Amino acid sequence: MQLPDVEYARSGELSIAYQVLGGGPIDLIFVPFMISSIFSSQHSPFSTFYARLASFSRLILFDTRGIGASDQPRTPPTLEAQMDDVRAVLDAVGSEQAVLFGAGHGGQMCALFAATYPERTSALVLYNPWPRFPGTSEEHRRLIRRIRNEIGRSDTIERLVEEQYPSFVDDKDFLRAVGWILRASVSPAAAAEFMRTVVEADVGEVLPTIRVPTLVLYRKNVAADPDFLAARDPEERAMAVAAAIPNAHAIAVAGRDLSPFVGDEIPNEVERFLGSPLGESSPERVLATILFTDIVGSTERAASLGDTGWRALLASHRAQVRRELARFSGVEVDTAGDGFFASFDGPARGIACALAIVGSSAEQGLQVRAGLHTGECEREAGKLAGIAVHIGARIAALAQPDEVLVSRTVKDLVAGSGIEFDERGEHALKGVPGEWQLYAVKSPDIHVSTAAP
């Protein structure tokens, strides 16, 4: 297969490497698990796998930040940041809408992307998916330490091939190729940082909000050691993911290799899926992060300043809030009294904006409380509505002065960002069923992408 030149898209301050293969009628972007698509495309069976996908699609390969030929970020490679990279690449190749195909951790990010940007997602394909990485917290810590200390070593490469590519275990040329690809894809420190995001992220609550046609693929007879966490209970996980996504269906494919790159079975199922009537996505329903802010003690402050003084201070406050919303790509949905209702396409940007609003308000002599929740919203005439909006408002009402309070969903989706939280216990939210675990943002010095590409 003749490989095209590597191109670069700008995602914020970073350059993201990508290639386009084939010229089929469907755009398909593939997201593997912590290896470089660009470097692996030069070797079989990876090249064969990509060529098969490109035979029925315009296949878009890219290296997310910190991987392979793309720039190393100064901030953690969160799911939110990786979604920025996907949008940057889609924009660069002129793709308005694409099929997202994610394997392993790539499936986490693709699922979140499909829920957040249904208008950019024509369909979703997940292979060996997990809402949250299998294993216990202690197993995760051991895995991260092992990756930091052992990745790239010859014995580690041999074990990786035994676990994911048993069909190639006696192929010395393949072993050398995998070693080169892995070492070229990621450094030990970058791999450990990437893996921290993988094991901390949880998209379980996002899955029911996905409104695009979805196919879930898995191999249930993999030969991998069950101590290899990514291979643990693949059928059970796949069936649970498919059950959580409306109208998704799961298919078991033949083969004993955990890796999706071995054999034609997976590309064949993807081609069959995309060749059938897919139905319509629902861009009027979208996953969004909702922010509500409110000035504490505004009535007393207005009384002390008088009408003219209060109007001037409130105007200054509103202007400052709008500057912060613009800086973090927030959208002002409504302004009621002295509070704001805004939305974001990523929770980390929402948290960073809320902290900035609290900080700038303090400089104006004001105390502000803020609450955030990520959930499914309905778009109605440019506005957002739905239960997620009510939850965001209720959370904000429970926040203390100068506090940013968030739901568990928000906390789970900013995994790997470095944002820290204090538990605030379970709370009943007026008019909302169940008990809600809430968290106060603890770390004020966070760094996120301030603007979408």
In the listed set 275, 305, 331, which residue is the last one of a domain according to the structure? 275
pLDDT score of 448 more than 70? no
Does the residue 1 lie in any domain? no
pLDDT band, very low/low/confident/very high, at 211 (cuts 50, 70, 90):
very high
Q: Are residues 245 and 296 in the same domain?
A: no
Q: Above pLDDT 70, what percent of the chain?
A: 95
CATH number at residue 332: 3.30.70.1230
pLDDT score at 330: 94
- What's the mean pLDDT when you consider all of the chain? 91
DSSP, residue by residue, 307-361: HHHHHHHHHHHHHHHHHHHHHTT-EEEEEETTEEEEEESSHHHHHHHHHHHHHHH
Q: Which DSSP letter does residue 120 get?
A: G
Q: Are residues 183 and 300 in the same domain?
A: no
Q: In which domain, by residue range, is 271 found?
A: 7-275
Q: Are residues 260 and 306 in the same domain?
A: no
Tell me how crowded residue 253 is: count the other CB atoms within 10 A of its CB. 18
pLDDT score at 46: 95
In the listed set 247, 275, 303, which residue is the last one of a domain according to the structure? 275
Does the residue 98 lie in any domain? yes
pLDDT score of 64 more than 60? yes
Q: Report residue 184 CA to chain centroid gap.
A: 24
CATH number at residue 177: 3.40.50.1820
pLDDT score at 282: 63
pLDDT score at 281: 62
Handedness of CA 132, 138, 139, 144 (dihedral sign): positive
Between 449 and 376, residue with greater pLDDT: 376
> Residue range 241-259: average pLDDT?
93
Helix H or strand E encompassing 194 = helix 188-200
Q: Are residues 43 and 150 in the same domain?
A: yes
Reported as a single tens digit per residue, the pLDDT across 135-151 is 899 999 999 998 999 88
Q: Are residues 184 and 232 in the same domain?
A: yes
pLDDT band, very low/low/confident/very high, at 395 (cuts 50, 70, 90):
very high
Reported as a single tens digit per residue, the pLDDT across 342-376 is 999 999 999 999 999 999 999 999 999 999 999 99
Q: Name the residue type at position 428.
A: A
Q: Are residues 309 and 267 in the same domain?
A: no
pLDDT score of 260 more than 60? yes
pLDDT band, very low/low/confident/very high, at 49 (cuts 50, 70, 90):
very high
pLDDT score of 452 more than 60? no
Q: Are residues 163 and 99 in the same domain?
A: yes
Q: Are residues 347 and 297 in the same domain?
A: yes
Task: Identify the CA nearest to 57 among candidates 82, 25, 83.
Answer: 25
Reported as a single tens digit per residue, the pLDDT across 79-99 is 999 999 999 999 999 999 999
Q: Are residues 294 and 399 in the same domain?
A: yes
In the listed set 275, 310, 334, which residue is the last one of a domain according to the structure? 275
pLDDT band, very low/low/confident/very high, at 224 (cuts 50, 70, 90):
low
Q: Above pLDDT 90, what percent of the chain?
A: 70
pLDDT score of 65 more than 90? yes
Does the residue 271 lie in any domain? yes
The torsion region of residue 355 among left (phi > 0), alpha (psi -120 to 50) and beta comes to: alpha
Which of 84-93, 381-390, 435-444 is modeled with the greatest confidence? 84-93
pLDDT score at 131: 92
pLDDT score of 292 more than 90? yes
Distances (CA, A) of 140 to 22, 135, 229: 39, 7, 9
pLDDT score at 203: 94
Does the residue 318 lie in any domain? yes
Does the residue 405 lie in any domain? yes
Q: Are residues 155 and 20 in the same domain?
A: yes
Does the residue 448 lie in any domain? no
Does the residue 228 lie in any domain? yes
Among the ranges given (123-137, 185-199, 216-230), the one the predictor scored with the smallest mean pLDDT? 216-230
pLDDT score at 280: 64
> Residue range 252-279: average pLDDT?
91
User: Cα angle vertex 18, ends 264, 352, to 5°?
Assistant: 115
Tokens of 418: 């470095």
Does the residue 453 lie in any domain? no
pLDDT score of 447 more than 70? no
Q: Are residues 200 and 313 in the same domain?
A: no
pLDDT score at 453: 46
pLDDT band, very low/low/confident/very high, at 185 (cuts 50, 70, 90):
very high
pLDDT band, very low/low/confident/very high, at 241 (cuts 50, 70, 90):
very high
Q: Are residues 234 and 347 in the same domain?
A: no
User: For the chain, what's the residue count?
Assistant: 453
pLDDT score of 449 more than 70? no
Tell me which residue has tokens 């900080």: 359
Q: Name the residue type at position 349.
A: R
pLDDT score of 24 more than 60? yes
> Residue range 423-439: average pLDDT?
92
Number of structural domains the chain divides into: 2
